[in-house]
């Protein structure tokens, strides 16, 4: 299952469980549920991915071309980064104007 779905389901599941058990839910509890969900989803994805990759490529020597990877990735990062900034800055700036 894709990360989006696993993550969201786990977050809802954890918070619903805490809610049913009668815990006083707050931002901290919700973030704890999210952190656990993200880590669990990532580790599950890693196990499935590693198993599939093992069937896809035989074990052997490894070579790393960090410089080459970054040369391809960094221009993409620039494009993605500005797009992300564009879409998220409103929420981050809005926090500065909220009344307490």
Partner 1 sequence: MVVIDAQSATAPPAGVIARLRAMLGGSAEASVTTRLAGTIFIIRVISAALAYVSQILLARWIGGSDYGVYVYVWTWVLLLGSMMDFGISASAQKIIPEYRTGGEHALLRGFLSGSRWMTFVVSAAASALLAGVVKSLSPWIDANAVLPLYIGCITLPAFVVANTQDGIARSHDWMRLG
Asked if 41 and 14 count as a contact pair (C-beta separation under 8 A), the reply is: no
Kindly state whether residue 11 participates in binding partner 1, applying the rule CB under 8 A: yes
Token pair of 96 as six digits: 């500065």
Rounded Cα distance between 98 and 91, Å, is 11
CB of 97 to partner 1, least distance (A): 12
Output the smallest distance, CB 51 to partner 1, in A. Answer: 11
Structural tokens at position 64: 């790393």
CA 10 to each of CA 1, 22, 24: distance values in angstroms, whole numbers, following the listed order: 12, 18, 19
Say if residue 29 is exposed, middle or buried (CB neighbours under 10 Å; 0-12, 13-18, 19+). Answer: middle
| The one among 22, 52, 67, 97 contacting partner 1 by CB under 8 A | 52
Contact 30, 15 (CB under 8 A): yes
Q: Verify binding: residue 12, partner 1, rule CB under 8 A.
A: yes
Under rule CB under 8 A, residue 47 binds partner 1: no
Single residue of 21, 22, 56, 67 touching partner 1 by CB under 8 A: 56
In the complex, the residues that contact partner 1 under the rule CB under 8 A are: 1-5, 8-9, 11-12, 15-16, 19, 25-32, 34-35, 38-39, 41-43, 45-46, 48-49, 52-53, 56-66, 68-70, 72-77, 80-81, 84-85, 88, 91-92, 95, 98, 100
């Amino acid at each position: 299952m894709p990360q989006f779905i696993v993550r969201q389901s786990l977050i809802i599941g954890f918070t619903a469980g805490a809610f049913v058990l009668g815990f006083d839910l707050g931002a901290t509890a919700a973030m704890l549920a999210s952190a656990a969900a993200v880590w669990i989803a990532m580790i599950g994805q890693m196990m499935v991915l590693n198993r599939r990759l093992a069937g896809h490529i035989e074990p052997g020597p490894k070579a790393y071309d960090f410089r080459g990877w970054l040369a391809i990735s960094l221009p993409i990062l620039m494009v993605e980064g500005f797009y992300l900034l564009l879409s998220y800055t409103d929420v981050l700036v809005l926090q500065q104007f909220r009344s307490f």
